[in-house]
Amino acid sequence: MNDYHVSVLLKEAIELLQVKKNGKYIDATLGGGGHTRAVLENGGLVLGIDLDQEALYFINQNQISNIKNQKLILTQGNFKDIARIARLNRFEKVDGIIYDVGVSSHQIDSGERGFSYLKNGPLDMRMDKENAVKASDLINILTKGDLYELFSRLGQERRARVISDRIVRARGIKAIQTTEELLEVIKDAYGLKTKTLSPFIKAAISKRVFQALRMAVNSELENLKESLPQAIDLLEKGGRIVTITFHSLEDRIVKHSFLEFEKNKQGKIITKKPMIPNEEEIRNNRRSASAKLRVFEKLI
Ligand SMILES: C[S@@+](CC[C@H](N)C(=O)[O-])C[C@H]1O[C@@H](n2cnc3c(N)ncnc32)[C@H](O)[C@@H]1O
């Protein structure tokens, strides 16, 4: 565990990855490096990828000796380019790949990154600070229909229509630039009049809109869909892909990709049903509550 991020399903993921001494592993979502550290401790070599420059900086500070000993290679990039990144780093044939998708606690807890409805900050939400599109661009440019589609599809938000309507009205007066300004609009759409809201109410009304925006800004579903077929090609015979997802649409992408691999006789699904955190983990880390872990093993 570290201050940057509390890893989810850590023990289960590492056991299922079946780490071999000097085996090669790709951590496609480095974050605070919890899964990477466990692979290194089990004798594996790791290529760690993250979109977020801050994750790379954190791991650089914390893994100096593994980096020096060439047990750990770090690269800033998008796992949708995993084949190219692996080739550039001579990690073409690997024994395992882990995806622990979504956001890190560090990203959520940094107000200035704009991921959180609990902290005021610019409406940014980019995991990669070089990304051209911020959440404020989507909020101020998308049509009412596109906002509705975004909040209902990615956020499964019941009030998507009213919220989209209120956003278009509010931005007609002044562009929405901060997380607090967006929260105010959502509050209005929910008909809440009180000036201050408890964190519980803030979460209840805005969690889905913030999540949908984040997923759209970072093209999260598209990246996962593009990456998995490349991942299967990178695996050695007997190698495994382990995925941890936090949203039903992400889990659906993994499930269907794995079924497709099985249909193509590329290997077998190890987890007939996804593995989920036990009660103790959920009690200790609320963010783990929606996690689902799936594993595929390559056989040819
Ligand atoms: C849940 S955290 C990973 C935590 C990590 N497994 C740990 O134990 O500390 C997810 C990380 O994936 C990164 N990420 C999300 N989408 C990505 C993508 N398409 N390519 C590379 N990194 C991505 C995020 O920036 C974030 O740091």
CATH code, domain carrying 242: 3.40.50.150
Final residue of a domain: which of 196, 217, 238? 217
140 and 182 inside one domain: yes
CB of 49 closer than 8 Å to CB of 77: yes
199 and 233 inside one domain: no
pTM for the model stands at 0.96
Question: Relative to the CA of 244, which ligand 1 atom is closest?
Answer: 1
State whether the beta carbon of 48 lies less than 6 angstroms from ligand 1: no
State the Cα angle at 216 between 179 and 296, rounded to 5°: 125
Residue 116 forms part of a structural domain: no
Residue 181 forms part of a structural domain: yes
pLDDT of residue 245: 98
90 and 27 inside one domain: yes
What is the C-alpha separation between 100 and 84, in angstroms, rounded? 20
What is the C-alpha separation between 99 and 89, in angstroms, rounded? 18
14 and 81 inside one domain: yes
State whether the beta carbon of 104 lies less than 6 angstroms from ligand 1: yes
Residue 3 forms part of a structural domain: no
Residue 51 forms part of a structural domain: yes
User: Which structural domain, as residue segments, surrounds residue 33?
Assistant: 10-105+220-298
Residue 127 forms part of a structural domain: no
211 and 235 inside one domain: no
Is it the case that residue 1 has pLDDT exceeding 70?
no
**From ligand 1's centre to the CA of 271, what distance in Å?**
22
State whether the beta carbon of 74 lies less than 6 angstroms from ligand 1: no
Residue 71 forms part of a structural domain: yes
Count helices and strands (H / E) in the chain: 14, 7
141 and 194 inside one domain: yes
CB of 182 closer than 8 Å to CB of 209: yes
- CATH number reported for the structural domain that contains residue 162 in this entry: 1.10.150.170
Residue 111 forms part of a structural domain: no
238 and 211 inside one domain: no
Tell me which residue has its CA closest to atom 3 in ligand 1.
31
Question: What stretches of the chain adopt beta strand conformation (E)?
Answer: 24-27, 45-50, 72-76, 94-100, 235-245, 267-269, 292-298
**Average pLDDT of 90-104?**
97
Ligand 1 pocket mutation pick from 17, 47, 82, 104 by most atoms within 8 angstroms of CB = 104
201 and 251 inside one domain: no
CB of 154 closer than 8 Å to CB of 215: yes
Is it the case that residue 2 has pLDDT exceeding 80?
no
Final residue of a domain: which of 217, 235, 270? 217
Tell me which residue has its CA closest to atom 2 in ligand 1.
104
159 and 15 inside one domain: no
Question: Relative to the CA of 127, which ligand 1 atom is closest?
Answer: 25
Residue 118 forms part of a structural domain: no
State whether the beta carbon of 245 lies less than 6 angstroms from ligand 1: no
94 and 60 inside one domain: yes
- Chain segment 151-187, per-residue pLDDT in tens: 999 999 999 999 999 999 999 999 999 999 999 999 9
State whether the beta carbon of 135 lies less than 6 angstroms from ligand 1: no
The percent of residues above 70 in pLDDT, for the chain, comes to 100
| Residue where the block lists tokens 């093209």 | 219
pLDDT of residue 195: 85
Both tokens of 39, joined, read 């692979």
Q: How many domains does the chain have?
A: 2
208 and 59 inside one domain: no
pLDDT of residue 194: 87
State whether the beta carbon of 5 lies less than 6 angstroms from ligand 1: yes
- Mean pLDDT score of the chain: 97
**From ligand 1's centre to the CA of 196, what distance in Å?**
33
96 and 232 inside one domain: yes
- Chain segment 114-136, per-residue pLDDT in tens: 999 999 999 999 999 999 999 99
- Chain segment 219-228, per-residue pLDDT in tens: 999 999 999 9
| Position 251 confidence tier, pLDDT thresholds 50, 70, 90 | very high
Final residue of a domain: which of 169, 192, 217? 217
